Amino acid sequence: MSPLSALESSMITSLEARKRLGVPRYDADIVAPDHAGDFFSNDYLSIGKIPHIRKSFVDALSRTPFLFGSTGSRAISGSTSHHVELEEYFVEQFEAEKAMVFNSGYMCNLTFFGYAPQEGDVILYDEFIHASIHDGFRISRAKDHAFAFSHNSVPDFESKLKQILHDYPGIPSGLSTLFIVIESVYSMEGDFSPMEEIITLVEKYVPSKSAHIVVDEAHSLGLYGPGGKGLLREWGLEKRVHSVIFPFTKAVNFIGCVMTTTPTIYQYLSNYGRSWLFTTSLPHVDLVGIKFCFEAIQTQEADQLRKNIKDLSHFFVKLFLESTYDIPKDILSIVNPESKDLHARGLIAPVFPIYTPQPLALQHYLNKLGYAAKGLAHPGVPKGTERIRVVIHGGNTDVQIRQFVKSLPGVGVESSRSDYHHPIKGDGGRARELAQVVERCTRPGVRAQL
């Protein structure tokens, strides 16, 4: 196929259009170096750093009779005793009525949100929920009745809630369901949801038989709660919500997801959920891996890693603010900790967006130093909030953090602070340095990876 097909011509046109708009391109076939330290993965706890954990896992596998595939979907021959037992394990672990193990958080969200809503149901969701949830909505019967409330805004939630009860009389009369969808901690901002306030408003206004609160604990599982079992359990709210999604792909450092819900919903989804019915279930080795990793997050070593995260996160914020106090916030800044951790009740999330108008320049600069940074711009994040998403892990050290902060452009410059002048006035040590770095990185000839 030496001349381009019509398909490829059209695809290239789209990719070019994005490039001209400055949208970063994703290269799935290029490895980003991270020898300088992990400041970007979702391996929050650095659980792989627990001594002997690799060997323990291989030992656990060697004691398992079955390792390979299930070769069937959960509807046909892919429901083995190991699949069923893993779900029973989670029923016990979470003290839930029923647990449904999915191959991924994406498939869980696609299945639940795609197939649980019935005709006449309505959805009220935080505007920043994950893309996988939107993909579920789009195929559901409630797709034209899904409403967003302003991110983490309790007043806007209340206002939209009242509006929905007014516009959809089926809900207050107990004939239809209102799904309320939030995340415990949000992936891109690392901020906490005002969960208890939202739950309370639902309890106040919505008849209990019509309310269905869904919480995605992707970025809180392993970090908070007894044994790392999540934010709902940290705050004793788990009995006041209905279905909870726990992906194992961040702190738990594996693959797959479990959703806790009711037996009826489990039965319905396992009969109607196409994304459940028509995909092969997890191979046996993954069932072992999930249980192994879930136990690992409950160990004392994991408790210590959780403590490390907390300490190092505070250290990072302090160091970053000290080191960048004289850099204009419109060049480089992190979210004001007061607003980031507003609803956190003293907890801290290890996700730190670093806002900069030049995320790709910053990415390339950091990549060269051995950091696997990724610049994020529209449409991945809203315009005006371009950033790189920094993560502090249980296995990061304060030396690494110092080195990382010092590496940031404009920081660690030998000029004294008194050299600094406001960039609008043109002169100034740090601002000039940063501008030079940015200019160098965006010059043509430098790997123009847009």
Site for other proteins in 269-308 (CB under 8 A): 270-272, 274-280, 282-283, 285-286, 289, 293
- The verdict on 17 binding other proteins (CB under 8 A) reads no
Answer for which of 21, 118, 169, 325 binds other proteins (CB under 8 A) is: 118
The sheet carrying 211-216 orders its strands as: 98-102, 257-261, 243-247, 211-216, 178-183, 122-126, 146-149
Work out how close the CB of 322 gets to other proteins at its nearest, in angstroms, rounded to a whole number.
27
* Pair 221, 252: CB distance under 8 Å: yes
Nearer to other proteins, 175 or 347 (CB): 175
Query: Are 358 and 442 in contact, with CB atoms under 8 Å apart?
Result: yes
- List binders of other proteins among 157-176 (CB under 8 A): 174-176
Task: Decide the pairing of beta strands 387-391 and 122-126.
Answer: unpaired
Q: Is 28 in the site for other proteins (CB under 8 A)?
A: yes
Task: Kindly tell me which of 233 and 374 has the beta carbon lying closer to other proteins.
Answer: 374
> What are the b/e assignments for 339-372, b being 16+ CB within 10 Å?
ebbebbeebbbbbbbbbbebbbbbbbbbbebebb
Residue 248 is which amino acid?
A: F
Of 41 and 163, the one with the shorter C-beta distance to other proteins is 41
Cα radius of gyration (the chain): 24
Nearest distance, CB of residue 19 and other proteins, angstroms: 10
Number of residues that bind other proteins (CB under 8 A): 108
By CB under 8 A, tell whether 262 contacts other proteins.
Answer: yes
CB of 125 to other proteins, least distance (A): 16
- The answer to whether 40 contacts other proteins (rule: CB under 8 A) is yes
Q: Residue 214's closest CA among 186, 181, 249? A: 181
d(C-alpha 125, C-alpha 310), whole Å? 29
Q: Which of 89, 94, 121, 375 binds other proteins (CB under 8 A)?
A: 121
**139 touches other proteins by CB under 8 A:** yes
What is the SS3 assignment for 100? strand
Q: Which of residues 43-102 bind other proteins (CB under 8 A)?
A: 43, 47-48, 54, 57-58, 61-62, 66-72, 74-77, 79-81, 83-84, 87, 97, 100
The angle that helices 284-296 and 81-94 make with each other, rounded to 10 degrees, is 20
Among 128, 254, 316, 420, binds other proteins (CB under 8 A): 254
Tell me, residue by residue from 203 to 242, as one string, x for binding to other proteins by CB under 8 A and - for no binding. Answer: -----xxxxx-----------------------------x
Choice from 22, 36, 104, 315 touching other proteins (CB under 8 A)? 104
How far the first Cα of the chain sits from its last, in Å, is 26
CB nearer to other proteins: give 116 or 408: 116
Cβ-based nearer residue to other proteins, 121 or 234: 121
Site membership for other proteins, residue 396 (CB under 8 A): no
Question: In the block, which residue shows the tokens 């940074």?
Answer: 373
Buried b (16+ CB within 10 A) or exposed e, 145-177: bbebbeebebeebbebbeebbeebeebbeeebb
The CB-of-214 to other proteins minimum distance in angstroms stands at: 11
**Complex with other proteins: residue 48 or 370, whichever CB lies closer:** 48
Torsion of CA 285, 247, 180, 127, to 10 degrees: -140
Minimum distance between the CB of residue 255 and other proteins, rounded to whole angstroms? 5
Question: What is the residue whose two structure tokens read 């869980």?
Answer: 108
